[in-house]
Amino acid sequence: MYLCYLDESGSPEDPHNQHFVLAGVALPAHSWKTFDLAIADIKKNYGLENAEIHTGWMMRPYSHEGKISNFATLSRDERRTAVSKLRQARESALAAAGDGARLKRAVVERKKTAAYVHLTHAERVAVVTKISEKVASWRDLRLFGGAVNRAWFNKTPRRLDMFEFAFDNIVNRFQAFLTNRAKFLQNSGKGAEAKDCIGILIEDNNATVSARVTLLMRKFHKDGTLFGTVDRIIETPLFVDSELTCMVQVADIAAYAIRRFLDNNESALFNLFYQRVDKAREAPVGLRHFVDHGCLCKICLDHGKSPTSLGAVIAGS
């Protein structure tokens, strides 16, 4: 059985995002504990054992590092104390000045980054990089994903909205992997193992998304996805607390890495995760860039190596 953890990067509603990415990180159920403990150990080394990895907030620079003297040489507790005092003073000044808009942004930043202020920017990047390197070393882990270019998507009316389209893509690619894996086991004389080649989707327990995704998955079980039936993914998605589930946080890093590669040509994290994309005849069939014809990104160029792949069919439609 395979567990496929999902997370996203970008927002379907934000016109400033060039891409919306939904990523899935799948691993054999028997490997779950080993993988989870490995990620937890990396987080613990940086004082993040009780924190959730929000990649977008961790990777950005924080202004306080340039305002607190010798910040990098302070202890982690000293950093927390210094940042807390600085932020309290800033919010008080904004409140006194009646600058509600900037105060609101300051409060959001404080809440989103509170778990990471004891680390320098270099240390935060190191956390994300080490997790990505660890994931790249796991040969039985598979990455699935769909990066939807907003301009491409908005050109023509579609039956599904952007999130649903991306979710349909993930379901279809995970289903294809499980089917192909079962065929391989069957042909290898491991019919008993082939019967157990099933999967379940696991996602952050977001109240807004959970009901919507559950209904959509029920529809997929009944009517299939845009491209085929669903018979190896069981039940509707399992919703968990991402703060307590390391592998959902890994999916967050994967989605971020894909989006930053396509939006900003940042390849360091992307190249690590790209090693784990599900492939067929060396083509990355597990990852698709939905964009206009003629895109020269690595995903689109490599995808062309498999002319009979699902992605090639979509591109030619």
Give domain limits for the chain.
2-43+130-316, 65-116
Query: Are residues 65 and 122 in contact, defined by beta-carbon separation less than 8 angstroms?
Result: no
Band of residue 112 on the pLDDT scale cut at 50, 70, 90 = very high
Residue 289 has pLDDT above 70, yes or no: yes
What is the torsion angle, in degrees rounded to the nearest 10, for the CA atoms of residue 264, residue 269, residue 271 and residue 274? Answer: -100
Residue 305 has pLDDT above 80, yes or no: no
**Angle formed by the axes of helices 121-136 and 32-45, nearest 10°:** 160
pLDDT at 146: 95
Q: Which CATH architecture has domain 2-43+130-316?
A: 2-Layer Sandwich (3.30)
Query: Are residues 197 and 174 in contact, defined by beta-carbon separation less than 8 angstroms?
Result: no
pLDDT at 307: 39
Residue 35 has pLDDT above 60, yes or no: yes
pLDDT at 48: 97
pLDDT at 277: 96
